[in-house]
């Protein structure tokens, strides 16, 4: 099963773009990359996911490298409410693995005024 590596913590100034990197060098061709965030031990909140192409929604953009070995989550205009732990997750696709979400330790993002 593919695993992910993220920096344990990052800072970003309020109003600037926050770029959160994730390494998933062992990802298989049919495994998706998901991003969730968790604010102070609340339930995780879905942000975005992708397979090969870059994706954008109202919350963020996801940039996946051509070789799919890494990705970057971009919060375009970070606010104080974006302070949270951000998880980059690879979703196993096989029925045997039952479409699990495999979580790492995440990146603690602190937005500073």
Partner 1 sequence: DAGVTQSPTHLIKTRGQHVTLRCSPISGHKSVSWYQQVLGQGPQFIFQYYEKEERGRGNFPDRFSARQFPNYSSELNVNALLLGDSALYLCASSLELGAGGVYNIQYFGAGTRLSVL
Decide whether 44 or 78 has the Cβ nearer to partner 1: 44
Q: How far is the CB of 24 from partner 1 (least distance, A)?
A: 14
Q: How far is the CB of 41 from partner 1 (least distance, A)?
A: 6
Decide whether 45 or 56 has the Cβ nearer to partner 1: 45
Decide whether 15 or 56 has the Cβ nearer to partner 1: 56
Q: How far is the CB of 108 from partner 1 (least distance, A)?
A: 10
Judged by the rule CB under 8 A, the positions of this chain that interact with partner 1 are: 30-32, 36, 41-46, 49, 51, 87, 91-93, 97-106
Cα(87)–Cα(24) distance, integer angstroms: 12
- Upper half-sphere CA count for residue 8 (Cβ side, 13 Å): 0
């Amino acid at each position: 099963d593919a695993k992910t590596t993220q920096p344990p913590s990052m800072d970003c100034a309020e109003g600037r773009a926050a770029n959160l990197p994730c390494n998933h060098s062992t990802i298989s061709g049919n495994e998706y990359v998901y991003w969730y965030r968790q604010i102070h031990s609340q339930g995780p909140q879905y942000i975005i996911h992708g397979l090969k192409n870059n994706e954008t929604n109202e919350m963020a953009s996801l940039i996946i490298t051509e070789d799919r070995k890494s990705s970057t989550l971009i919060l375009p205009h970070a606010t104080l409410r974006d302070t949270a732990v951000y998880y980059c997750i690879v979703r196993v696709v096989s029925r045997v693995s039952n479409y699990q979400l495999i979580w790492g330790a995440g990146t603690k993002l602190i937005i500073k005024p």
